[in-house]
Amino acid sequence: MIGNTVIQLQNVDIYQQKNLVLSNVNLHIDKGEFVYLIGQTGSGKSSLLKVIYGDLHISSGEGHAGGYDLKKLAEKDVPFLRRKLGIVFQDFQLLTDRSIEDNMRFVMKATGWKDKNLIAERIRDVLEKVGLRSKIKKMPHELSGGEQQRVVVARALLNDPEIILADEPTGNLDPETSEEIMLLLKEISRSGTAVLMATHDYHIIRTFPSRIIKCENGRVLEDAKIV
């Protein structure tokens, strides 16, 4: 890993079971960079994200994410890698039976936080960042879709990750709320946390232009354009 690079893949072949999904992948993402990941359904976007967060193993080429060598990544190291990554999905995956605060606390305990005061302080900090500190005691069903997605972004920030992987984070949101989430993610990247966002929404890409990576015909194009 060199300098500011948070993700680097060199000549990587990506398989799902025994099927080659993407071949000879070369990819780099630097600290604080905002990058879109596009491609048709089935083009390999999810497989690429899975390699980055340690869900798919790589057998050829070189890969690094968050300071970890993906080729040598042992099962026991995966949770530590994921602390360096914040993951945001379109289906919020909040625990519906507990408050926003308790959702956050659950994640922190699962990732090794012990000190109750530090946990409480960090939860307040990340909710402040996403403009939801006043909702800390609410249950997920008491929040709008946009607010729930903000909570998911806050949850992704808990361990101060080097990069956020956002998979269709605006997929279930109306256009206005989608723009709010985009402004939030852009702000996060400006503060130094890289963002890699998979999306099908070309309107958002045109509204918030940035570098584009495209999965197409079994390849990854590092500097793609949309037409």
Residues paired with 196 in a beta bridge: 35, 165
The yes-or-no verdict on residue 2 having pLDDT over 60 is no
Which structure tokens are listed for 31?
Answer: 């600290």
Cα dihedral across residues 40, 206, 8, 161: positive or negative: negative
- What's the whole-number mean pLDDT along residues 54-80? 91
Residues paired with 14 in a beta bridge: 22
Q: Where are the domains of the chain?
A: 95-160
Place of tokens 């992987």: 165
Residues paired with 8 in a beta bridge: 28, 64
pLDDT tens column, 71-123: 999 999 988 898 889 988 877 689 999 999 999 999 899 888 999 999 999 99
With a pLDDT cut of 90, the percent of the chain lying above it is 80
Long-range pairs of 72-78 with CB within 8 A, sequence gap ≥ 24: 78/54
pLDDT tens column, 148-198: 999 999 999 999 999 999 999 998 899 999 999 999 999 999 999 999 999
- What's the whole-number mean pLDDT along residues 117-146? 96
Instruction: Please tell me the predicted confidence (pLDDT) of residue 226.
Output: 78
- What's the whole-number mean pLDDT along residues 20-28? 95
**38 pLDDT tier (thresholds 50, 70, 90):** very high
CA neighbor of 1 nearest in space, from 10, 47, 85:
10
Residues 6+ away with beta carbon under 8 Å from 9: 25, 26, 27, 28, 51, 58, 61, 62, 63, 64, 70
**217 pLDDT tier (thresholds 50, 70, 90):** very high
Instruction: Please tell me the predicted confidence (pLDDT) of residue 91.
Output: 74
The yes-or-no verdict on residue 147 having pLDDT over 70 is yes
What average pLDDT does the structure give for the chain? 92
Instruction: Please tell me the predicted confidence (pLDDT) of residue 164.
Output: 95
Fold of 95-160: ABC transporter ATPase like fold (1.20.1580)
Backbone angle region of 21, left / alpha / beta, with phi > 0 → left and psi within -120 to 50 → alpha = alpha
**1 pLDDT tier (thresholds 50, 70, 90):** very low
Residues 6+ away with beta carbon under 8 Å from 201: 170, 171, 178
| Residue 92 or residue 210, greater confidence | 210
CA neighbor of 157 nearest in space, from 48, 74, 84:
84
Instruction: Please tell me the predicted confidence (pLDDT) of residue 82.
Output: 86
